[in-house]
Structure 1
Amino acid sequence: MPVIRINDATFADLKSVATWLGTETPSQTVDYLVREKMDLLGLERDDVQEEVAHRDSPNLPSAEGALEFRSAPGLSFTRMLEASVDGQPQAKANWSAVLLEVITSTKKKTGMDATALSHELQVPSKPYEYASEGYKFLPDLGISIQGQSAQDAWKEIKRLADKHRVAVTVRFQWRENDKAQHPGRIGILRAGE
């Protein structure tokens, strides 16, 4: 495998990009960026290394052609198509509803009261009724939670699901927007399995 030297500033930039892309190693980040640029230019690899590189990439195509991610990609400009929490399909499939269902499952599994549950969460929450600054009171949980972006909601869904063994699968699609990470493509994320 070839070795590439880059300056410290570029390496720092590479780490920042890796965080945004959700890649785990500099090699995965470079591979992802090169593949994305090649796709944009309409180029294809013609060597057998493509299959090996693809297996090490941060996402893999599923049988249905959706991208299945090991770590979260950029979720801006996405809409959720379907979701399940603990094997139960969610009637209202959006990032916020799935987060609330995972919090509900966490409360059921742990028996936490509102104060303990609020402290367990890493999203803004209060263990009492509060309806200002974007908070919404959830009487069944006894806490108020502030609204989250898709990216922040998934981060907390994954953290809680992995910690408390709540199986979550979401299938989503990027909108046809130039700012979306993969316009029009479908992605799958899993946690707690």
Structure 2
Amino acid sequence: MMPSIEISQELFKRIQRHAIPLVDTAETAIARAFDALEKGPTTPSKPKIDDARVFDGEAPPDLTFATLLAANLDGKEIKNPYWNTLMDEAIRLGFKAYGSLKELRQHCPGNYADGQKDDGGYHYMPDLGISVQGRDANAVWRATSQLCKQLGISVAVEFRWAHKEHIKYPGETGQMAI
């Protein structure tokens, strides 16, 4: 269960002033504020969607330290996108198309378990009756894009890297699609 917090209406309005419309949730706006705070006293600029770097989905950049901002799968927006929720939605489509966990495994390699398994990084998908092990952003993109290509559906993502010195695009926004 995710922890929940209550905030005042005034603070919520402040968060909204700094959020990217149709992209940010309160959590991603707060995370960006903490990224800026941890980076130091420089004045952060709000990333613009139009300024995003466009990458080839077939040859993605390293997504380590990249936070998913927006995702669209088969023409449908993923609400509150995270890398693993994107993969879960692709798995749902794959499970529906292939009809069984055995078939899904052949088209989307990964660690799955029949029934509920909550340890070792697994989370339960009650609507499918299976558990899926979480993956890092790079593994999610590989699995999701591979499955989407096989299903003949589109996937598009927008993401932002953290402000870290050792990554290639610190603080920048990127987009890619299949």
TM over 0.5: yes
Residue 177 (structure 1) aligns with: 164
The 1-side partners of 2:174 and 2:105 are apart by 30
Residue 69 (structure 1) aligns with: 55
Find 1:158's aligned residue among 134, 145, 156: 145
- Deviation of 1:147 after TM superposition, in Å, equals 1.0
Letter in 2 for 1:93: P
Supply the RMSD in Å over aligned alpha carbons: 1.7
Aligned residue-pair number: 128
Percent identity, aligned pairs only? 27
Cα distance per residue 1:93-126 (max 9 Å; x no partner): 1100111111112222x14123332443311112
Rg comparison, structure with higher value: 1
Residue 13 (structure 1) aligns with: none
The 2-side partners of 1:121 and 1:128 are apart by 18
Find 2:91's aligned residue among 103, 115, 120: 103
Letter in 1 for 2:54: E
**TM (normalized to structure 2)?**
0.66
Find 1:140's aligned residue among 107, 127, 132: 127
Letter in 1 for 2:64: S
Check the 8 A contact 1:115/1:127 in 2, yes or no: no
Structure 1: gaps (5+ residues)? 1-62
The 2-side partners of 1:129 and 1:149 are apart by 21
Residue 154 (structure 2) aligns with: 167
Structure 2: gaps (5+ residues)? 1-48
Residue 57 (structure 1) aligns with: none
The 1-side partners of 2:111 and 2:101 are apart by 14
Give the direction of change, closer, same or farther, for the CA distance of 1:143–1:115 in structure 2 (3 Å limit): farther
Check the 8 A contact 2:53/2:173 in 1, yes or no: yes
The 1-side partners of 2:88 and 2:113 are apart by 14
Matched position secondary structure for 1:64? helix
Letter in 1 for 2:122: Y
